[in-house]
Amino acid sequence: MKRDPDSVAPSASIFGRLAWWAGRTEDAVLAVALLLMALIPVVELVGRTWFSAGIAGATEYLRHLTLWIGFLGAMLATREGKHLKIAAAVDWLPPRAGRIVDCLGAFISAVVCTALFGASLELVVAEAPALPIWTVKIIPEFIDSWLDPFGLFEGGGLTTIGGWIPIWVAEAVMPFGFAVMAVRFVLLVSKRTWVRTLVGLCLPAMVLLPILSAASASQLVLPGLVLLVVAAVLGTPVFILLGGAALLLFWGDGVTVAAIPAEMYRIVASPIFPTIPLFTLAGFILSEAEHASERLVGVFKAVFGWIPGGLAVAATLLCAFFTTFTGASGVTILALGGLLLPMLLKGGFKKSFSIGLLTSTGSLGLLLPPSLVVILYGIIAHVPIIDLFKAGLIPGCLLIAPVCLACMWQGFKTGTGRGRFLPKEAASAIWIAKWEVIMPILVLGLIFGGFCTLVEASAVLVVYALTAETFIYRNLSLQVIATMLVKCAVLVGGVLIILGTAMGLTSYLVDAQVPMHVAAWVTKHFQTKWLFLLALNGGLIIVGCLMDIYSALIVVVPLILPMAEPFGIHHAHLGIIFLANLQLGYLTPPVGMNLFLASFRFERPLATVSRDALLFFFMMAAVVLLITYVPWMTVGVLELLK
Looking at residue 448, its pLDDT comes to: 77
Q: Which amino acid is at 308?
A: P
The torsion region of residue 592 among left (phi > 0), alpha (psi -120 to 50) and beta comes to beta
- 8 Å CB contact between 116 and 243: yes
pLDDT at 213: 44
User: Are the CB atoms for 78 and 188 separated by under 8 Å?
Assistant: yes
Q: What is the pLDDT of residues 486-521, one digit of tens each?
A: 988 888 888 888 888 888 888 888 888 787 777 778
Say what the pLDDT of residue 120 is.
92
Residue with more model confidence, 240 or 153: 240
Residues ≥6 apart with Cβ < 8 Å to 462: 38, 278, 281, 282, 285
CA-CA distances (angstroms) from residue 438 to 166, 182, 366, 465?
Answer: 41, 44, 19, 10
Q: pLDDT for 305-345, tens place per residue?
A: 788 888 888 889 888 887 887 665 566 776 677 778 888 88
Pairing of strands 160-161, 165-166: antiparallel
pLDDT value, residue 214: 45
Instruction: Report the distance separating Cα 628 and Cα 580, nearest Å.
Output: 9
∠ CA 106-112-117, nearest 5°, is: 120
Average pLDDT on 77-88 reads: 79
Q: How far is Cα 300 from Cα 317, in angstroms, rounded to an integer?
A: 8
Give 54-81 pLDDT, tens digit per residue.
787 888 889 899 999 999 999 999 988 8
How are the residues of the chain apportioned to helix, strand and coil, as percentages rounded to the nearest 5?
A: 75, 0, 25
Residue 158 confidence (pLDDT): 46
At residue 264 the predicted structure's pLDDT band, cuts being 50, 70 and 90, is confident
* Domain parsing of the chain, residue ranges: 5-268, 275-640
Distance in angstroms (rounded) separating the CA atoms of residues 390 and 410: 32
- Residue 429 reports pLDDT greater than 80: yes
The yes-or-no verdict on residue 5 having pLDDT over 70 is: no
pLDDT band of residue 590 (cuts 50, 70, 90) is low
Dump pLDDT digits (tens) for 100-144: 777 788 888 988 998 899 889 888 887 775 444 434 333 334 334
Three-state DSSP at 165 gives strand
User: How far separated are the first and last CA of the chain, in Å rounded?
Assistant: 52
Helices and strands of the chain, counted as H and E runs: 30, 2
CA pair distance 421, 355, nearest whole angstrom: 27
Q: What are phi and psi of 634, to 5 degrees?
A: -110, -60
DSSP 61-86: HHHHHHHHHHHHHHHHHHHHT---BS
Given a contact cutoff of 8 angstroms between Cβ atoms, the answer to whether 406 and 623 are in contact is no
Which of 195-204, 437-446, 489-498, 538-547 comes out lowest in average pLDDT?
195-204
CA distance 255 to 555: 19
288 neighbors 484 (Cβ within 8 angstroms) = yes
Going by pLDDT thresholds of 50, 70 and 90, the confidence category of residue 175 is very high
Average pLDDT over residues 517-532: 80
* pLDDT for res 134: 39
Local confidence band at 257 (pLDDT 50, 70, 90 cut-offs): confident
**pLDDT tens per residue, range 395-411:** 999 999 999 999 999 88
The H or E element spanning position 166 is strand 165-166
CA distances to 185, 300, 420, 427 from 424, rounded to whole Å, are: 57, 14, 12, 5
DSSP string covering 320-348 = HHHHHHH-SSSHHHHHHHHHHHHHHHHTT
Per the prediction, the chain carries an average pLDDT of: 80
To 5 degrees, how large is the angle CA 128–CA 133–CA 139? 65
Q: Which of 14-23, 98-107, 567-576, 633-642 has maximum average pLDDT?
A: 567-576
What pLDDT band is residue 388 in, cutting at 50, 70 and 90? very high
Reported as a pLDDT band with limits 50, 70 and 90, residue 639 is confident
Instruction: Give the helix/strand (H/E) hosting 519.
Output: helix 514-525
DSSP conformational letter for 7: G
CA distance 401 to 378: 25
Query: In sequence order, what are the residues at sequence separation of 6 or more whose Cβ sits closer than 8 angstroms to the Cβ of residue 89?
Result: 1, 235
Higher per-residue confidence, 327 vs 535 = 535
Q: Are 563 and 520 in contact (CB under 8 A)?
A: no
Q: What is the pLDDT of residue 154?
A: 38
* Higher-confidence position of 151 and 363: 363
**557 vs 413: CA distance, rounded Å:** 43
Q: What is the pLDDT of residues 33-57, one digit of tens each?
A: 999 999 999 999 998 888 877 787 8
Question: Residue 195: helix, strand or coil by DSSP?
Answer: helix
CB burial of residue 402 (10 Å; 0-12, 13-18, 19+): middle
Whether the per-residue pLDDT at 173 is higher than 90: the answer is yes
pLDDT recorded at residue 577: 93
Task: State if pTM tops 0.85.
Answer: no
Cβ proximity of 526 and 532 under 8 Å: yes
Rounded Cα distance, 71 and 314, in Å: 38
CA–CA separation, 563 vs 526, rounded Å? Answer: 10
Q: Supply the pLDDT for residue 524.
A: 78
